[in-house]
Structure 1
Amino acid sequence: MSTPVVDVWGPVAPGARSSYPPAPEPHDEWSLAGGTAWVYYSPLNRRQLIRPVILSDGFSNGSSNLDQLWHGLEENGDYRFVSELHATGRDVIILGYSDRTASITDNADTAIDCIRRAISERVGRAKLVVGGFSMGGLVTRYALAKMEQDPALPDHETSLYFSYDSPHHGAWFPIALQAFTHFATDNWGDDPNVGPYLRQLSGLLNSPAARQMARWHIEKVGDTPQSAPERVAFLQELDELGGWPRGVRKIGVANGVDTGVGNGIQAGARAVRCNGQTLRDTWLNTQAQGDQTVARLHKTDDGEPTSVRTSGLPDIDGAPGGLFTVPSPAGDAGSFGMAAVLMALLGNTVDPDVIGTSCFIPAISALAAGDINDSKALYRPITPDHSALDAFVCASRNEGHTTMTEELGAWIVNEIVAQ
Structure 2
Amino acid sequence: MANTVVDVWGQVTPETRSSYPSAPEPHEEWALDGGTAWVYYSPLNRRQLVRPVILSDGFSGGSSNLDQLWQGLEENGDFRFISELHATGRDVIILGYNDRAASITDNADTVIDCVRRTLAERVGQSKLVVGGFSMGGLVTRYALAKMENDPGLPDHETAIHLSYDTPHQGAWLPVALQAFTHYATDKWGDAPGLGPVLSQFSALLNSPAAKQMARWHLPKADGTAEQAPERVAFLQALDEIGGWPRAVRKIGVANGVDTGDGNGVKPDAVAVRCDGETLTDTWLKTQAQGEQEVARLQKAGEEALVVRTSGLPEVDGAPGGLFTVPSPAGDTGSFGLAGLLMALLGNEVDPDVIATSCFVPSVSAVAAGDVADQNALYQAITPDRSDLDAFLCASRNEGHTTMTEELGAWVVNEIVSGS
- TM-score bracket for this pair, using the shorter chain length: over 0.9
Structure-to-structure mapping, 1:9-408, within 5 angstroms: 9=9, 15-302=15-302, 304-408=303-407
Q: Summarize the Cα distance change of 1:14–1:277 in structure 2 as closer, same or farther, 3 Å threshold.
A: farther
What SS does the corresponding residue of 1:326 show, helix, strand or coil?
coil
- Is the deviation greater in 326-335 or in 258-267? 326-335
User: 2 CA distance for matches of 1:42 and 1:327?
Assistant: 31
CA distance in 2, matches of 1:8, 1:314: 25
Counterpart of 1:149, as a letter, is N
Structure 1 position 330, deviation (Å): 2.1
Does structure 2 conserve the Cα–Cα contact (< 8 Å) formed by 1:319 and 1:362?
yes
Q: Deviations over 1:337-386 (max 9, x none)?
A: 00000000000000000000000000000000000000010000000010
- In structure 2, what is the Cα distance between the partners aligned to 1:89 and 1:106? 32
Unmatched 5+ stretches in structure 2? none
Mean alpha-carbon deviation: is it higher for 79-88 or for 323-332?
323-332
Q: Is the CA contact 1:11–1:329 (under 8 Å) kept in the aligned structure 2?
A: no
Aligned letter for 2:315?
A: I
Secondary structure (helix, strand or coil) at the match of 2:406 reads helix
Is the 2:7–2:327 contact (alpha carbons within 8 Å) kept by the matching residues of 1?
no
Q: Structure 2 CA distance, aligned partners of 1:126 and 1:199?
A: 46
Percent identity, please. 76
**Structure 1 residues 94-121: Cα deviation after superposition (integer angstroms, max 9, x where no partner):** 0000000000000000000000100000
Contact between 1:55 and 1:132, CA under 8 Å: does it hold in 2?
A: yes
Alpha-carbon spacing, 1:38–1:330, altered in 2? closer, same or farther (3 Å):
same
TM-score by length of 2: 0.98
Contact kept in structure 1, 2:29 and 2:37, CA below 8 Å: yes
CA deviation map 1:225-272 (0-9, x unaligned): 100000000000000000000000000000000000000000000000
- Using the TM superposition, give the Cα deviation of residue 66 of structure 1 relative to its aligned residue in structure 2, in angstroms: 1.3
SS at match of 1:392: strand
Name the CA distance, whole Å, in 1 between partners of 2:326 and 2:14: 12
Task: Measure, in 2, the Cα distance between the counterparts of 1:114 and 1:82.
Answer: 18
Q: Is the contact between residue 289 and residue 315 of structure 1 (CA under 8 Å) also seen in structure 2? A: yes
Give distance in 2, aligned partners of 1:370 and 1:320.
13
Counterparts of 1:275 and 1:6, CA distance in 2: 21
Q: Give the TM-score normalised by structure 1.
A: 0.98
- Indicate the larger mover: 121-130 or 218-227: 218-227
CA spacing shift, 1:106–1:292, aligned 2, 3 Å: same
**Secondary structure at 1:216's aligned position in 2?**
coil
Rounded to whole Å, the distance in 1 between the matches of 2:13 and 2:67 is 18
Alpha-carbon spacing, 1:224–1:64, altered in 2? closer, same or farther (3 Å): same
Change (3 A) 1:417 1:287: same
Instruction: Summarize deviations over 1:266-321 as a string: whole Å, max 9, x none.
Output: 0000000000000000000000000000000011111x210000000000100000
CA distance in 2, matches of 1:6, 1:269: 25
- Listed one character per residue, the Cα deviations across residues 125-179 of structure 1 (whole Å, up to 9, x for unaligned) are 0000000000000000000000000000000000011100000000001000000
State how far apart, in whole Å, the 2-side matches of 1:260 and 1:2 are: 44
The residue type equivalent to 1:327 in the other structure is P
Q: Distance in 1 between matches of 2:355 and 2:8?
A: 19
Where does structure 1 lack aligned partners over 5 or more consecutive residues?
none
CA spacing shift, 1:178–1:315, aligned 2, 3 Å: same
Q: Distance between the aligned counterparts of 2:300 and 2:417, measured in 1?
A: 62
Change in 2 beyond 3 A, CA 1:213/1:226:
same
Which letter maps to 2:297?
A: L
* Partner amino acid, structure 2, of 1:99: D
